[in-house]
Structure 1
Amino acid sequence: MGGNPRTTPPSRSDWLNRPLSEAQQRYALDDVRFLEPLYRWVRETLEEKGLADALREESDRFARELAAQDDPDMHYLRLRGGWALSDERQKLLRSLVIWREQAARRKDRPRSRVVPDAALIALAESRPDSLPGLSRIPDLSPGIIRRYGELLLDMLAADPSGLPALPAVIPGPLTRDQQALYKKLRKRLVAVAEARGIPIELLAPRRRLEAMIQQAAMGEDPCSGGLFEEQWRRELLEPLQDDIRGILTP
C-alpha cells in the first residue's frame, strides 16, 4: 500500500545502460567472487573422474571460440538466419556485419543497438535503394535510419561480385532426415556420457554434432576433427568411431 517504492534488483536492471550503477558493479563483483572456489570444485571433480586434462583442453577450446567470435571478419557466421541467402548476398551481409562490429566497438554500444541481426539479414536480402525502402525493413527503427541510413544505402549499392570471397558459408539448419540422425547419434553418445558421469552437453555439444552430420553429408569422414579434436574426448569416443560412421554414413 504505502511505504518506499521497491527498487529493481540488479539482476533485472538494464545492463545495456552506461555507466553501470554501484549496485550493478557490486552484483558483477559478487559473481567473480565465486569463480575461484567454483574452479577448485570443478578441477577436483574432474580429477576424481580421471578427466583432469579435460579442464585444460576445454578452457583452451572456449578461449579459441571466444577469440573467433571477436573476429569482425567472421562474426557474420553467427547470424544463422542468413543461411538461406545466396553466396553473393552472404558476401553483402558479411560487409554489413563487419561495419556494424566496428561501429559497435567504436561507440561502445551493443550490436543490437547499432543495427539488429534480423535487420542486417533483411537488408542483404532485399537491398533497398532509398530511405523509404529502408523504412519498410521491420527491425530498422527511425533512429537507426536517421543515424546510418545514407551509409547503409551506400553499402547496399555495392556490387557483391566485387566484395571479398566468403571464408565460409553460413551453415543451414539440419534437414528432417538429418535431425533423425542427430537424435540417433546423440542417444548413442548419451550412454557414454552417463557411464562416465559427464553431462552430454559437455561431451557432445549440439553444434559439434550438427557439424559432424553436415561433414558426412558432404562425403567427409565425420570422425575427422569435430568431437575428436581434444584428446580427452578422443580417448572416450575412439571405440565408437565405427558406430558413429555407421549411423551417419549408412
Structure 2
Amino acid sequence: MVSTTEDLAQLCSEMARHDYVTVDTEFLRETTFWPILCLIQVATPDDEAIIDPMAEGIDLAPFFDLMADPDVVKVFHAARQDVEIVYNLAGLVPEPIFDTQVAAMVCGYGDSIAYNMLVSKICNAQIDKSSRFTDWSHRPLSEKQLDYALADVTFLRDVYEHLKERLEKQKREHWVAEEMKILTNPETYDLPVEKAWTRLKMRVRKPIDLAVMQSVARWREEEARERNIPRGRVIKDDAIYEVAQQHPKDQKALSRLRALPRGFENSRHAEGLLEAIEAGLSTPKEDLPVVPRPSRSPEGTGAATELLKTLLKVIAEQNQVAGKVIATADELEKIAASDDADVAALKGWRYELFGKHALDLKRGDIALGFEDRKIQIIELE
C-alpha cells in the first residue's frame, strides 16, 4: 500500500500521463455523518495501487490533484458515494468522470447493474465478495482483503474500455455525457441545510406544520454535521413528522411523543429541538410555506400510463438500453397527463428515442399490437 505523501505524489504523477484512471474507495459511515475514508484504489492501463488514507502523516493532495486533472478521465462504478467523499474532503468534484453503471444501462446491461455482475458478463470473471462487508479501518488488512479491493479497479479497466468502444459504435457517447452532468454538479453533494426537509416525505397538510418540519429538519441537519453522527442518531424521521403535527412547546410535551426516545426531553439536545419548533411556529403568516398538493391527473391518465409503460419496454428492448435510463415511472405519469410535461423523457436523445413515440401513441398516430408472440409498434394511416 502507498502510505507516504512522497510515494503518493510519484504514483499520481505517473498516472496523470494516462488518458484514464479507474477509481474506487472503501469507507465506513454507519456511526458518522461524514464517511470515514479507509482505502483508495486506483489503476491505469499498466499500473494499479492501493492508497492508505489512514496512514500517519499522509497528505492526499496529490490524489486530489489527479482527481481534478481535466486531461484524465476518472472511471467509477456507481460513482455518487465515491465522488461525495472527494467533495467532502477536498471541496472538488472529479471531472471529467465516466460512470460504468450508467454506461452499462445505456448499453443494455439492465437497470443499475452491480459491479460483480458486469465483470462477469464483460470479463468472464468472478469476484470473491466475501470481503465486501469487512472493517476497512482495521490494520493490517489481509491479502484477501487487499486482493478484493484491488479487483474493484483492475477489472474496471476492461469494463470501461469495452463500454467506451460499444458507446462509440452505437454513437451514444452523448447519452452518457448528459448523465455525467448531474454527477459533476456540486449541488448533488452539498444540499443546503435549509433544504434538508426535502429529504423527507410530505406527511403534513397545513402550512404551519410544514414550517415546523422545515425548521426542525434544518436543526437536525446542523446537529448531525456538527456532532458527526447520522441524522437518525439525532432524531428519526418519524419524530420530525410527529413534532410537526403536535407542536410540543415544553419538555413535558416532548415526553409524550412516541417517536422520540425515552428520556430525550431531559437531554441537552431537547432545548435545541424546542427552539427549532418555536422558530417554525413563529413564522409570519405571510411567510408560511405552501404545502405541495398532488395534482389531479385528467381522466384516463392511469390507462395511458400503462400503455406508455408497455411502449417504453418495447423501445428499450429494441434498442438494447435500460428503460430506467430513458424514463421513470413518474415521468410516464406526467407525459400521460400532459403533452407539454417538463420531463427529461421529452428532451434531447430521449425524445428522439422514446418521447416522440409516446406522444404519437397518445394522439393515436401509432398503436401497439401483438404479432409473432411480441408486442409491436404499428404505424397508423
> Who is 1:73 aligned against?
194
User: How has the CA–CA distance of structure 1 residues 185 and 72 changed in structure 2, closer, same or farther, with 3 Å as cutoff?
Assistant: farther
CA distance in 1, matches of 2:186, 2:225: 19
TM-score w.r.t. length of structure 1: 0.70
How far apart, CA to CA, are the structure 2 residues paired with 1:209 and 1:85? Answer: 26
Looking at secondary structure, tell me which structure has more helix per residue. Answer: 1
**Is the CA contact (8 Å cut-off) linking 1:83 and 1:169 kept in structure 2?**
no
Q: TM-score, normalised by structure 2?
A: 0.49
Superposed, which structure 2 residues align to 1:53-72 within 5 Å?
Answer: 53-64=174-185, 67=188, 70-72=191-193
Q: Does 1:132 align with 2:252?
A: yes
2:284 is equivalent to residue 162 of structure 1: yes
Question: Residues 102 and 244 from structure 1, CA distance in 2 versus in 1: closer, same or farther, beyond 3 angstroms?
Answer: farther
Could you tell me which residue of structure 1 aligns to residue 351 of structure 2?
Answer: 234
| Counterpart in the other structure of 2:211 | 91
Instruction: In structure 2, list runs of 5 or more residues that go unmatched.
Output: 1-26, 40-134, 365-381
- Corresponding position of 1:10: none
Question: What does 1:1-250 align with in structure 2 at a 5 Å threshold?
Answer: 15-17=29-31, 23-25=135-137, 30=150, 33=153, 37-64=158-185, 67=188, 70-80=191-201, 82-142=202-262, 144-145=264-265, 146-158=267-279, 159=281, 161-162=283-284, 166=289, 169-170=291-292, 172=294, 180-210=303-333, 212=335, 216=337, 221-229=339-347, 231-243=348-360, 246=363
Distance 1:169 1:127 in 2: 17
Distance (Å, rounded) in 1 between the aligned partners of 2:181 and 2:326: 15
Measure how far apart 1:199 and its partner are: 1.0
Distance of aligned partners of 1:16 and 1:188 in 2 relative to their CA distance in 1, 3 Å threshold:
same
Change (3 A) 1:142 1:30: farther
Instruction: Return the alpha-carbon distance in structure 1 between the equivalents of residues 222 and 156 of structure 2.
Output: 31
Output the amino acid matched with 2:192. D
Distance 2:264 2:183 in 1: 33
Task: Give the deviation of 1:197 after TM superposition.
Answer: 0.7
Q: Which residue of 1 aligns with 2:123?
A: none
Alpha-carbon distance, 1:148 to partner: 2.0
Alignment gaps of 5+ in structure 1: 1-12
Amino acid across the alignment from 1:115: I
Q: String of CA shifts for 1:211-247, please: whole Å, max 9, x gaps.
A: 556xx4xxx6544344234x22122134225246559
Higher RCO, 1 vs 2 (CA within 8 Å, ≥6 residues apart): 1
Alignment length (residue pairs): 227
Q: Secondary structure at the match of 1:128?
A: coil
The structure with more strand, counted as a fraction of residues: 2
Identity of aligned residues (%): 22
The 3 A distance-change label for structure 1 pair 110 and 201 is same
Query: How has the CA–CA distance of structure 1 residues 21 and 198 changed in structure 2, closer, same or farther, with 3 Å as cutoff?
Result: closer
Deviation at 1:43, TM superposition (A): 3.0
Name the Cα RMSD after superposition: 3.8
CA distance in 2, matches of 1:173, 1:200: 25
SS in 2 for 1:142: coil
CA distance in 2, matches of 1:208, 1:69: 25
